[in-house]
A and B are shown apart, each in its own frame.
Chain A
Amino acid sequence: MNQVPDYEAIKRFSADIRINTIKSIHSTGSGHIGGSASIADVLAVLYGGMMRVDPKNPKWAERDWLVLSKGHCGPALYATLALKGYFPMDWLTTLNKPNTNLPSHADANRTPGVDMSTGSLGQGISAAVGIALGNRTQKIDSYTYCIVGDGELNEGEVWEACSAATDLKLDNLIVFVDWNKKQLDGRLEEILEPGDISKKFEVFGFDVQTVVGYDYQAIWEAIEKAKSIKGKPSVIILDTIKGLGVKLAEEKEFNHHLPITDEGAEEAIAEIERRLSEGTYPVGDFKW
């Protein structure tokens, strides 16, 4: 896309993604709100003008692809896709219910716009490497984006995929790390020392950028820079906060998977609107 990005519109889009993710998870009672909230901003940038996609033709061969390697955060992607018109908004309240098209973990055979089925951590980035390679082999000029969790970096397969992406010189692959500092059982360093994530990717041969994960302009510009890098894959590390922008999740230390009550949903949505009107969205006065 060559148009000048409208960062205010992207910001509003990210708020709508958060609001609809809250509503969706609230409708089923509980879900992966923490990691869904922290990727709302990058999803807003990608689907808010960066990606070449056509919601009316989700399987368009020339499209850009997104693999949500942290497949448990399907709800944030579903909210994004519904808002873009891939499927009706009322699907969002069918999340995890019998016969739904929106299962907990992303499923490309059920949900229009989901490009790859994921859920077993580590595999999505491998599939993204395959997709980028497949498109290049068929001379299709497109980008493959992939969002991996910071906890997911525990998986050895992620690093296998990185070495393959570098060896294959996949400059049509742009990986995001949702560096929200927590995994299911707690903070990264309490579970498995993450080391210097940026250096690790650098050693594996990636072009590495780190940006504030809720700075829309910074994310946009980082992607533009990544696209200009030739001969190697890129990673953009999103320095963000697990549960960001969703009050009930921000407030909890242990916020991987949470129940969302009527009251909690109402309060969280009101808080998003308040921060937007005050100009403090998405962070507000929340302190890490």
Chain B
Amino acid sequence: MVKIRKEIKISPEEMRYAYCDALIEAAKDNEKIVTIDCDLSNSCGTKKFKATYPDRGFNVGIQEQNGCAMAGGLSATGLIPFFHSFAVFSTRRVYDQFFLSCAYAKQNVKIVGSDAGVSAASNGGTHMAFEDIALVRAMPTATIVEPSDPTMMKALVPQIANTYGVFYLRMPRKTVYDIYEPGSTFELGKSVTIREGTDVTLIASGLIVVNALKAADLLAEIGISARVVDMFTIKPIDVDNIVKCAKETGAIVTCENSNILGGLGGAVSEVLGEHLPTPIERIGVKDLFGEVGPQDYLEERFELTAEDIVKKAKKVFARKQA
């Protein structure tokens, strides 16, 4: 059951704490869950896990490569390690360790990257992961999950803990909009259609889902009926729903907080190209490095806003009719 909130406003709960609380809850019944932090537990909001379970939380200091390969070793003994850092370090810095000691070794490691994309804001371009999705998509067997609000986060964390294999969980650290009513349920791998529409489908993930919903409102004002899909599992992607939306609406816009090359836009384009060629436009970072600045400025700078989505939706709608 998925229920959208009547009024969508900023959540009182930061994503990092929604994540950590969900993990603490999951760990109550599962003593195999352990965590590895790399001197960013304050920033990633994961301090409380170690405070709650002192014997199961390990802060290895500023050594992501070692921490990530250690997670592979912990998993080899039957534990379920969750590795935490900023998205840039959780993917590009530890790519080889994530690849060999976790994925190739068929371990049960969950890699969490906070401050994904423009949410890195004041940390700037060095810390702004736009490439992480593309990197992990190219890693065999890895599942990529990007929850869009705290309710979804709480529903997915236990599933991630209970599903064997390597996962990459991507999240902003601070507040996002509450989209879903508490109690909403989600299933890994199954995208959810959160607004019906017939002219175009906006397929979004993470913190851009709310921009897609706003865009759908704006499009309705000019007579375009936009469907909105929350594609929270980016890999393996929900092929069935993408094809269904392509059939039923005939036009797609993907909306993501990452590089369109290899990201959600790339993934959806591949599905459409192989199953049902359909006009598509992509909202996302157009092969650029990040920059420093407030998140709302960055969303404008990289053309991720509701207004940007409207432009692309109008364009793809026109292409469909041409």
Contacts and interface: CB of A to CB of B under 8 A. Distances in A.
Interface residues of B, number: 30
Q: How large is the interface on A (under 10, 10 to 19, 20 to 34, 35 or more residues)?
A: 20 to 34
A283 to B, nearest CB: 35
A109 B58 CA distance: 27
B78 A123 contact: no
A164 B63 contact: yes
Interface string B60-74: 110101111111111
Given A109-B106, A161-B66, A164-B63, A133 B100 contact: no
A126 B72 CA distance: 9
Interface string A81-112: 00000000000000000000000000011000
A212 interface: no
A116 B76 contact: yes
A115 B105 CA distance: 10
Interface string A110-126: 00000111111011001
A167 B65 CA distance: 16
Contacts of B63: 157, 160, 163-164
B56 A108 contact: no
B92 to A, nearest CB: 16
Contacts of A122: 65, 69
A279 to B, nearest CB: 41
Given A157-B66, A164-B66, A130 B76 contact: yes
Interface string B200-225: 00000000000000000000000000
A26 B287 CA distance: 49
Q: For the complex, would chain A's binding face be called helix, strand, loop or mixed by DSSP majority?
A: helix
B73 A128 contact: yes
27 contacts: A108-B76, A115-B76, A116-B72, A116-B73, A117-B104, A120-B96, A123-B65, A123-B96, A126-B66, A126-B68, A126-B69, A127-B70, A127-B73, A127-B105, A130-B81, A131-B73, A133-B73, A137-B77, A138-B77, A140-B77, A157-B66, A161-B66, A163-B61, A163-B63, A164-B60, A164-B61, A167-B60
Given A127-B105, A130-B73, A134-B73, 19 more contacts: A109-B106, A115-B76, A116-B72, A116-B76, A123-B101, A126-B67, A126-B68, A126-B101, A127-B70, A129-B70, A129-B73, A130-B77, A130-B81, A133-B58, A134-B79, A137-B34, A138-B77, A163-B63, A167-B60
